[in-house]
Amino acid sequence: MALQWTSVLSVGIPELDAEHAEMFERMDRLHDAMLAGDRAEVSRTIAFLREDAVRHLAAEDTLMLALGYPERERHLREHEAFLATVRELARRHDANGPTAVLVHDVEQAVATWVEAHVAVHDVALGAFAREHLRRPTTAERKPA
Ligand SMILES: [Fe+2]
Ligand SMILES: [Fe+2]
User: Ligand 1 center to residue 138 CA distance, Å?
Assistant: 32
pLDDT tier for residue 136 given thresholds of 50, 70 and 90: low
Give the helix/strand (H/E) hosting 97. Answer: none
- How many A from CA of 132 to the centre of ligand 1? 18
pTM: 0.86
Interval 14-23: pLDDT, tens: 999 999 999 9
Q: Identify which ligand lies nearest to the alpha carbon of 11.
A: 1
User: What is the DSSP code (8-state) at residue 36?
Assistant: T
Q: Which residues surround ligand 2, an ion (CB under 5 A)?
A: 60, 122
- For the chain, the distance separating the N- and C-terminal CA atoms, rounded to the nearest angstrom, is 56
Q: How far is it, in rounded angstroms, from Cα 139 to Cα 137?
A: 5
Number of H helices, E strands in the chain: 6, 0
**What are the structural domains, with CATH classification, of the chain?**
13-134 (1.20.120.50)
pLDDT computed for residue 4 by the predictor: 75
Express each pLDDT in 82-103 by its tens digit.
999 999 999 999 999 999 999 9
Mean pLDDT over 132-136 rounds to: 71
Q: Supply the pLDDT for residue 8.
A: 81
Q: Report the separation in Å between the CA atom of 43 and the middle of ligand 1, taken as the mean of its atom positions.
A: 21
Distance 59 CA to ligand 2 centre (A): 9
φ/ψ (deg, to 5) at 110: -75, -50
**Residue 5 — very low, low, confident or very high, per pLDDT cuts 50/70/90?**
confident
Q: Give the closest ligand to the alpha carbon of residue 120.
A: 2
Q: Which residue has the higher pLDDT, 5 or 106?
A: 106
The answer to whether the CB of 131 falls within 8 A of the CB of 118 is no
pLDDT tops 80 at residue 114 = yes
Distance 141 CA to ligand 1 centre (A): 32
Return d(Cα 102, Cα 17) in angstroms, integer.
27
Tens-place pLDDT, residues 39-86: 899 999 999 999 999 999 999 999 999 999 999 999 999 999 999 999
Integer Cα distance of 24 and 5 in angstroms: 6
Task: Read off the amino acid at residue 54.
Answer: V
Whole-angstrom distance, CA of residue 76 vs CA of residue 74: 5
